[in-house]
Amino acid sequence: MILEKIEGNSIKQTTIKNRIESVGIGLHKGEPIEIALEPMEANSGIVFYRSDVGMSVRATPDSVVNTQMATVIGDGENYISTIEHLLSAIYSYGIDNIRVVVNASEVPVMDGSSASFCMLLDEAGKRVLSENKKFLIIKREVEVVDGKKFAKVTPSLKPIYDFTIDFDHPIIARQEYRFEFSKKSFIKEISKARTFGFLKDVQYLRSRGLALGGSLENAVVLDDNKILNPEGLRYKDEFVRHKILDAIGDLSLLGAAIVGDYRSFAGSHNLNHKLTKEILRDPKNYEIKTFSKESAKELQKVFA
């Protein structure tokens, strides 16, 4: 791992300017959850804190304890679930250091997208810190495969997320979306895309005491032939756009702004987690750098 020190007019780390609070419903327990976003100092990273049990855990690949239906981090004894939608917003807003405080075992699902978290971050504002911002430069192709499914990253100076899904369902079917990453584009093209599920699966999960907070208010729900939400879709290809939203949040656990292309077919939280672990497994896969504003004007725009 190489850290290039650049003094003077370099791109700096950030945090939020003000503490901000909100309340939302937990997807699985169906109970109100209090959430607060708090500023942190440089090099703190993204830290989650459960106030009900006194657990503090950094958002890193090594903290992930489950990826079955969401990305879940924990310390071996306690956990926090469904962190990916919030992380997607934090990463896309270029926030390097922040503490997330919740009083339950999951982040509130809000409306099933990142839109509510974007509004919270807008209200909280951004503060520039003195330390240089870290960029993770992908140096060579890294891929993880599960049958026909895959997720991979390749070197590129312009971060792109390219996702394809293929569902045996008349409404979803095959969808592809290529997203050129930036905060402005994220807000417009990705942030409002909601999580989705099938009515038969929701019924099964509820029989096991899960998805108790799931509703048409926080997810796109489909039966065998149609969408049950009366308002319909927010984007015609909302399903694949939400997969990109998830991927941005999952890969943000790498702990730095990623400079490289991400591509996936039928990816999942599990494949994304395996990809982050595989990237970090070999130092030849990546390089950690800092940049001056002058030498990386385009990156500064993307990660502003």
Is 4 part of any domain? no
Is 2 part of any domain? no
Is 7 part of any domain? no
**What is the band of 7 on the pLDDT scale with cuts at 50, 70, 90?**
very low
Look at residue 1 in the predicted model and tell me its pLDDT: 31
Mean confidence (pLDDT) of the chain: 93
The candidate with the shortest Cα–Cα distance to 99, out of 37, 56, 57, is 37
Is 164 part of any domain? yes
Mean pLDDT of all residues in 87-111:
97
Cα 242–chain centre separation:
10
Q: Return the minimum-mean-pLDDT range out of 57-66, 68-77, 136-145.
A: 68-77
Look at residue 295 in the predicted model and tell me its pLDDT: 66
pLDDT for residue 212 is more than 80: no
Q: Return the minimum-mean-pLDDT range out of 124-128, 149-153, 198-202, 220-224.
A: 198-202
The 10s digit of each residue's pLDDT in 249-283 is 999 999 999 999 999 999 999 999 999 999 999 99
Is 225 part of any domain? yes
pLDDT for residue 141 is more than 70: yes
Is 138 part of any domain? yes
Mean pLDDT of all residues in 143-168:
96
Number of domains in the chain: 1
pLDDT for residue 248 is more than 80: yes
Is 143 part of any domain? yes
Look at residue 247 in the predicted model and tell me its pLDDT: 98
CATH number, residue 91 = 3.30.1700.10
What is the spatial distance between Cα 215 and Cα 112, in angstroms, rounded to a whole number? 10
Here the tokens at position 18 are 């003000």
The 10s digit of each residue's pLDDT in 102-115 is 999 999 999 999 99
Here the tokens at position 221 are 């729900």
Look at residue 56 in the predicted model and tell me its pLDDT: 98
Domain region containing 83? 12-302
**What is the band of 210 on the pLDDT scale with cuts at 50, 70, 90?**
low
The candidate with the shortest Cα–Cα distance to 267, out of 151, 143, 95, is 151
Q: Against a cut of 0.85, is the pTM above it?
A: yes
Specify which residues 22 forms β-bridges with: 35
The candidate with the shortest Cα–Cα distance to 191, out of 88, 51, 41, 69, is 88
Is 281 part of any domain? yes
Mean pLDDT of all residues in 121-126:
98
What is the spatial distance between Cα 195 and Cα 219, in angstroms, rounded to a whole number? 5
**Burial class for 225, CB neighbours closer than 10 Å (0-12, 13-18, 19+):** exposed
**What is the band of 76 on the pLDDT scale with cuts at 50, 70, 90?**
confident
Cα 189 to Cα 3, 237, 240, 292, distances in angstroms: 33, 10, 11, 29
2 or 146, which is more confident: 146
**What is 66-112 written as a DSSP string?**
E-SSS-EEE-SS-EEB--HHHHHHHHHTT--BEEEEESSSB---TTS
Which residues carry out catalysis? 269
